[in-house]
Amino acid sequence: MSALKVISFQRFMKSFGAMPWGTSKTYGEIAKELNAPPQAAQNVGQAMAKNPLPLLIPCHRVLAAGGKPGGFSAEGGVKTKLQMLVLEGLFKDQPKPEQASLF
């Protein structure tokens, strides 16, 4: 059973919507907030890839461990994620994406 199957979807998505402009969390921090085991961080990332409301649920603000950008499933991939984070002041210079765009 997936570590996140025991977490209500509503609680899970609420944790993303609670991130104000210019702030970020890691996948692991979100898993910890939801009292999920550390390995649930990967499940958090998979759930974010399925985010149907990216303008309302700011999945671009969720980063990989160490503040690295991680992935991004929207058009433009990680490059788009980094541009959004730069606009919010989270990165002064765009780091090189670790994952190539899927589009």
Which run of H or of E encompasses 13? helix 9-17
Predicted structure pTM score: 0.75
**CA count, 13 A, side-chain hemisphere, 69:** 24
Burial level of 52, CB count in 10 A (0-12/13-18/19+)?
Answer: exposed
Question: Which residue, 3, 30, 26, is CA-closest to 14?
Answer: 30
Contact 28, 39 (CB under 8 A): no
* Catalytic site includes residue 40: no
Tell me what percent of the residues of the chain surpass a pLDDT of 90: 8
pLDDT single digits (tens) 21-67: 889 999 999 888 888 888 888 888 888 888 777 767 788 899 999 88
1 confidence band (pLDDT: 50, 70, 90): very low
Pick the catalytic residue from 59, 84, 85, 90.
Answer: 59
